[in-house]
Amino acid sequence: MSDRKSDYDHDTHAELLYSKLNRIEERIRRITEFLEKIMAKIDDLVTVVTAAKAGVDAIVALVNTLESQVAGALANDNITPATQAKIDAVFQAATDQAAEINTALAAGTPAAPAKL
């Protein structure tokens, strides 16, 4: 009888261990899925930040160009119609560039993530 009880105890113990192992594996699987979601969100964030940085760099370059062109245009204090046309063109370019940057940033900005 003691051999049978020992076999029963061993089988029950093995089943309990197997059940616990399955629960641990399931938790590890869920944690892994959660971490993969986090990594995907981080990748999305890097993409958005990179696009925003490019937009900022373009704005800085544009402002530097505008400053230089306006300073050159106003150097002799007489703004001729041709000079005024250049100034108008520069500011129109700035407006167009700003619109392009805003469009690009809006297109590259993902919707707010759902709570994980």
Side chain identity at 93, as an amino acid letter? A
Tell me how crowded residue 87 is: count the other CB atoms within 10 A of its CB.
16
Convert the pLDDT of each residue in 50-74 to its tens digit: 887 887 788 778 877 877 877 776 7
Lowest-pLDDT choice from 2-6, 31-35, 60-64, 92-96:
2-6
Give the pLDDT of residue 116: 53
DSSP letters along 8-62, please? HHHHHHHHHHHHHHHHHHHHHHHHHHHHHHHHHHHHHHHHHHHHHHHHHHHHHHH
Cα distances (Å, whole numbers) of residue 110 to 6, 18, 73, 104: 61, 43, 42, 12
* Whole-angstrom distance, CA of residue 18 vs CA of residue 14: 6
Q: Residue 17's pLDDT band (boundaries 50, 70, 90)? A: very high
